């Protein structure tokens, strides 16, 4: 009789805030969110306006069983300010896909929509999964922003090399959901979830 391997450490009790920006890689984020939920993570999704052009909020609502946050002006309840409360309850914020636009906003201190405001007011660690055209990734401004983010404690995963939706080949593809899940699991398990503190 074969013995099965012990199950992976559970992520039950952890909360993740997944911020989805406008890029074709947003479809991969749906797979990542599904995998996180299956691992026991409570997932809340926030989306930019451009992200909603690629994947609809209904997809993430079905995967998480929670409403999707799309605006600073629609509060889930009258007591909490949404752009602060969402990150206060999260153990980790994951930005996937992270566009050149959101990297520039974060390094420039710009908070002009829900996602950029959440990131500027983050009350937990932030993991960033860049995804963009190769030329955009290699642009000196993007590389300057990436260096600043790393120097200031942000965790960046990827991007990977490969064929992109535009047909170009090179660095810029968002890391696969399995890769991101492994990094998220490693980061979460370094501390107890906020719900147990």
Residue 85, pLDDT score = 78
Residue 162, pLDDT score = 75
Rg (alpha carbons) of the chain, rounded to whole number: 17
Any domain includes 5:
no
Residue 27, pLDDT score = 92
Any domain includes 93:
yes
Any domain includes 77:
yes
Side-by-side strand order, sheet with 155-156: 42-47, 15-20, 92-98, 126-130, 155-156
Burial of 48 (0-12, 13-18, 19+ CB in 10 A): buried
Residue 81, pLDDT score = 56
**Cα torsion through 105, 108, 114, 119, rounded to 10:** 100
CATH number at residue 126: 3.40.50.1950
Q: Which of 19, 21, 124, 166 is catalytic?
A: 166
Give me the domain span that covers residue 23.
15-192
In the chain, which residues have pLDDT < 70? 1-9, 73-83, 165-166, 170, 196-197
**19 assigned to active site:** no
Residue 37, pLDDT score = 95
The residues, any chain, with a CB within 8 Å of residue 81's CB and separated by 6 or more, are: 75
Any domain includes 173:
yes
pTM given for the model? 0.87
Per the structure, the count of domains in the chain is 1
Any domain includes 57:
yes
Any domain includes 114:
yes
Q: Per residue in 172-186, pLDDT tens?
A: 889 999 999 999 999
Of 84, 80, 33, nearest to 60 (Cα)? 33
Residue 80, pLDDT score = 53
Of 104, 108, 109, nearest to 120 (Cα)? 109
Residue 88, pLDDT score = 87
Any domain includes 197:
no
Q: Per residue in 139-165, pLDDT tens?
A: 999 999 999 999 999 999 999 887 776
Any domain includes 1:
no
Q: Which two tokens stand for residue 9?
A: 């450490």
């Amino acid at each position: 009789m074969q013995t099965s391997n012990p199950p992976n450490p559970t992520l039950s009790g952890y909360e993740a805030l997944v911020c989805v920006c406008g890029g074709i890689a947003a479809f991969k984020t749906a797979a990542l969110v599904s995998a996180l939920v299956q691992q026991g993570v409570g997932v809340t999704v926030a989306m930019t306006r451009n992200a909603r052009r690629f994947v609809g909020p209904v997809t993430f609502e079905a995967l998480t069983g929670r409403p999707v946050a799309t605006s600073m002006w629609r509060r889930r309840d009258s007591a909490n300010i949404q752009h602060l409360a969402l990150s206060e309850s999260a153990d980790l914020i994951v930005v996937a896909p992270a566009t050149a636009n959101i990297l520039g906003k974060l390094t420039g201190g710009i908070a002009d929509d829900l996602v950029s405001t959440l990131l500027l007011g983050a009350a937990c660690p932030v993991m960033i999964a860049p995804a963009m055209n190769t030329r955009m990734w290699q642009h000196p401004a993007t590389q300057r922003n990436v260096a600043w983010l790393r120097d200031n404690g942000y965790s960046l995963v990827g991007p990977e090399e490969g064929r992109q939706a535009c047909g170009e080949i090179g660095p810029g593809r968002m890391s696969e959901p399995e890769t991101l899940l492994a990094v998220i699991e490693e980061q979460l398990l370094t501390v107890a979830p906020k719900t147990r503190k």
